[in-house]
Amino acid sequence: MMLVSFLFLPVLAAILLLFIKNNKTAQWTAIFFSGLTLLVALQMLYTPMIDFNITWLPNLNTRFILHADGLSKILILLNAISFPAIFMATANNDYKNRNVFLSLLLFTQAGLMGVFLAGDALLFYFFWELALIPVYFLCSIWGGEKRVAVTFKFFIYTFLGSLLMLAGILFLNAHTGDHSFLISSFIHANLTGGQQVTAFALFFMAFAIKMPLFPLHTWQPDAYEQSPTAVTMVLSAVMVKMGLYGVIRWLMPLFPVAFMAHTHVVVILSVIGILYASFIAIRQDDIKRLIAYSSIAHIGLMNAALFTHTQIAIQGALIQLFSHGINVLGLWIVADMIEQQTGTRSMQQMGGLAKKQPTLAILLVGFALANIALPLTNSFAGEFLMFTGLFQFNPWMAACAGVSVVLAAIYTLNMVQKVAYGAISEKINTMHSPNKGAQAVLIILLIIVFVTGVYPQPLFSLTADTLQELFVK
């Protein structure tokens, strides 16, 4: 029943919030239930998991199956850490109809949990949509001035991806021996080479849009910029992992022939995306857009690592799923704290943060160092393994992707210089006492950054079963 609680607790909280009109009560309700979910997630790490398996839609031959291996656990842990952190860090932000806003966020958390646990393709698709639909309303109602156009673009991309994946699911179901939607049945589906390529393409497009992979990335920077920062945090820290998760959980085991046939094409697209996003990030003045393009580059590296199909690169990508989420969440919280107090996202109007709020500046520097994978931070081990695997796959691709390390240092340290150092700008001078809750969250996240950077072995151990399943047949 532990697996069911990952769905039950967020859904229960989301429903309760619809009846709570007091903003403070609604905020603490969201924090309390997301905190409970985190406690269950921490307990999960030390408890053997028993699959939850009941009849769901018998007429469609589909079952409600929840299964947690190392891949699921590390993403559930990230999900469980992210939401209470977001609720605490944005507690002072002004949201109209706060209870509805928080309710939709919790429905999104439940959907994400379901995506990472589903062992049935139709159930996976159900949770995929449950995670995406609330985000559409969150962006369209609470977003910025350009929210209508940006949300429409987001909707078109995600709706197209969902339709393609549904077509792939139905296509595979028609070729299974028992006409079920179980992932085990899909793995043993009787597909010809051409049919496998067709199904691979349908699934891959959905996952590539969600990551997003170049050239399907154009919805992301605008969506990150126009969304409420709490929603941007969810999109960047957790939701983009849905695409990478789909590659590992579905593409690799279901379509091994088609997967191997497309490795070079996808790795090349990923490397182009890494370099493109990195160069664009260097030119950004808006701190939210800089973080958005930085995220595209990091996700591109993880996807390239997965498609090398080398054990060492995939191991790096598995732990980087968690590390990237923690790092980008910290950067978003710092950016939000500055924006909430100064009213600007322009780095040209910042400067002198280290003199005005030295603690916040130190926290910014800590997450910036993690963003460039400095040794002893959590990203170092994952990036080292991914680049090693990429080099084994193709030295030239590794060399091209390696340029992004220098580019990441340029745009990240440039951000730190503009925001934290120099004379105190007029905007920064207006900042008052920091949000203590947000500052506490940042300290906890930074502790995670350095603890898992110095001693990443628990993350390796957590994902060992997934790696064995992929490479030991």
Q: Provide the 8-state DSSP code for 235.
A: I
Predicted confidence band at 188 (pLDDT cuts at 50, 70, 90)?
confident
Determine the pLDDT at residue 1: 65
Closest CA to 456 of 376, 389, 388: 376
pLDDT by residue (tens digit) across 275-320?
Answer: 998 999 898 888 888 988 888 899 999 999 999 988 899 999 999 9
Report how far residue 83's alpha carbon sits from residue 237's, in angstroms, rounded to the nearest whole number. 10
Determine the pLDDT at residue 114: 92
Query: How large is the average pLDDT for residues 189-196?
Result: 80
Predicted confidence band at 387 (pLDDT cuts at 50, 70, 90)?
very high
**Where do we find the tokens 């664009």?**
280
pLDDT by residue (tens digit) across 203-231?
Answer: 999 899 888 887 877 777 777 777 888 88
Determine the pLDDT at residue 472: 58
Q: Whole-prediction pTM value? A: 0.92
**The two three-digit tokens of residue 297, written as one number:** 């580059």
pLDDT by residue (tens digit) across 148-159?
Answer: 777 888 888 888
Whether a cis peptide bond, with omega within 30° of 0, leads into 375 is: no
The gap from C-alpha 115 to its chain's centroid, in whole angstroms, comes to 12
Determine the pLDDT at residue 332: 92
Query: How large is the average pLDDT for residues 318-332?
Result: 92
List Cβ neighbours of 64 (8 Å cut-off, separation of 6 or more): 52, 53, 54, 55, 56, 120, 123
Share of the chain above pLDDT 90, in %: 37
**The two three-digit tokens of residue 78, written as one number:** 């990230």
Determine the pLDDT at residue 226: 78
Determine the pLDDT at residue 355: 84
116 residue type, one letter: F
Mean of the per-residue pLDDT values of the chain: 87
pLDDT by residue (tens digit) across 243-272?
Answer: 999 999 888 888 888 888 889 999 999 999
Query: How large is the average pLDDT for residues 424-431?
Result: 81
Query: How large is the average pLDDT for residues 314-341?
Result: 91
pLDDT by residue (tens digit) across 436-464?
Answer: 888 899 999 999 999 999 999 999 988 88
pLDDT by residue (tens digit) across 84-125?
Answer: 999 999 888 888 888 999 999 999 999 999 999 998 889 999
**Alpha helices (runs of H) in 143-218, residue ranges in sequence order:** 147-173, 183-187, 193-210
Determine the pLDDT at residue 37: 92
Report how far residue 172's alpha carbon sits from residue 166's, in angstroms, rounded to the nearest whole number. 10
pLDDT by residue (tens digit) across 403-413?
Answer: 988 999 999 99
Closest CA to 165 of 129, 119, 116, 213: 129
Query: How large is the average pLDDT for residues 333-350?
Result: 86
Determine the pLDDT at residue 369: 92
